[in-house]
Amino acid sequence: MSILASRQLMSRAVSVSGENVDRILRMVARLVSVGYVAYLTLLMPSIASESARMAPWWTPPTVIAVFGLGILPGVLSFRSNVRLIRVGAAAAALAFLLAAAVWPFAWKGPDLAAGDAFWLASFPGLASLAAIVAWPIWAAFLYMVVSCTSVMAITAAARGGSSFGMLLTDIAFAIMFCTLFVGGAAMAIRTGRLLDSTTAMSHQAAASASAQHARRVESERFDALVHDSVLASLLAASRGQPPTVVGPLAESTLTELDALHSPPVLHPVFSTDEAITHLRSASADADDRATFDVQHIDSSAIEQLPADDVRAVGSALSEALRNSRLHAGSNACRTVTVRLSEALLTVDVVDDGEGFDTTAVAPNRLGIAVSIIGRMRRLTDGSAHVQSSPGSGTRVHLEWPIP
């Protein structure tokens, strides 16, 4: 993954923050609105009969304000802006509390029967659900206590004071009953916040890991470029290699350095023909005099090959040829043989040059260890083997099982 991709992942972590809480708030807002519609339907007989006990100016605007604003959060829940839902829920909660506050000024009597309750006392829990959509959890619970206390006091007063002795019990029961629903909504919202936090942390951790991986890949890419091209060109020049060797190496190095400013668009997959063409091009770039031989191509079941993996094999192939040009001797002949089957891609780079003792290679010589063996091992199940001995030439075998 590139550094740009890791930044996009980090921005995604920011964008998803709050999604779960928003989804839960929308669900609760719709539940509140459905509840208000249901209570309006059920309480219409009580509202009509008890309106005779109220001042004429109180019941119509109260019913319109309380139930009209109660439906508002559900309507606004279909909008993308969650803040509008919170505003609508706050208006519904405040309308309920305002109706309870104005009730003493509108009550005319006569008193209700001992077993009856004023209609406003039927749904303080529903108004508290609206409050939990609008405000923090602690504020919603405080609202629930105030609203339950208010409507229970209204009911006691409407009964002419006959049930004042049970007022505290009625308030406690109302609070306990409403807590079941408000507490459930609070736990759902809290769970949503925890899930949002966990999701954001997961995305940030993934973005951080991706950025570290991208930096490591870029570092390896530049290390390989410096070793495979820059140092190889300087080493060839310092050893007095003929211009036919130094010139193409230097030209190839400059081309790769220029490509850093405007990297080409890389396709994610290769067809079989494109893969062979890429390997042929990698061979020609490293040594245009090397023989490139393709054997045993069985591509009937292969439609696409991962391009990055093929490029890695091509880079290892190029490095093997460059090493051969530098160390095998000026009269060495080089042959590249590619074999491709349904399950395996192998590349053999063989020269008949001076050869070397593989056990005597210094550990700080990174051409074979990093640019060939290390590069192939980074592929899934990829491998590279170097066979050589003094005077017997060198064979580099690259092998990659096709996933």
The predicted-structure confidence for 305-362, as pLDDT tens digits, reads as follows 888 889 889 888 988 888 888 888 778 899 999 998 888 899 999 998 888 887 776 6
- Percent of the chain at pLDDT > 70 equals 76
Task: Give 129 or 198, the one with higher predicted confidence.
Answer: 129
Q: For the ranges 87-91, 135-139, 259-263, 309-313, which has the lowest average pLDDT?
A: 259-263
Q: Delimit the CATH 3.30.565.10 region(s) of the chain.
A: 270-401
Task: Give 41 or 229, the one with higher predicted confidence.
Answer: 41
pLDDT of residue 323: 83
SS3 156: helix
- Percent of the chain at pLDDT > 90 equals 41
Task: Please name the residues in contact with 335: beta carbons below 8 A apart, sequence gap of 6 or more.
Answer: 290, 291, 293, 348, 349, 350, 351
CATH topology of domain 270-401: Heat Shock Protein 90 (3.30.565)
Residue 137 CB neighbour total at 10 angstroms = 17
pTM reported for the whole predicted model: 0.54
State the Cα–Cα distance between residues 80 and 256, nearest whole angstrom. Answer: 49
The predicted-structure confidence for 203-225, as pLDDT tens digits, reads as follows 677 666 656 755 665 666 666 66
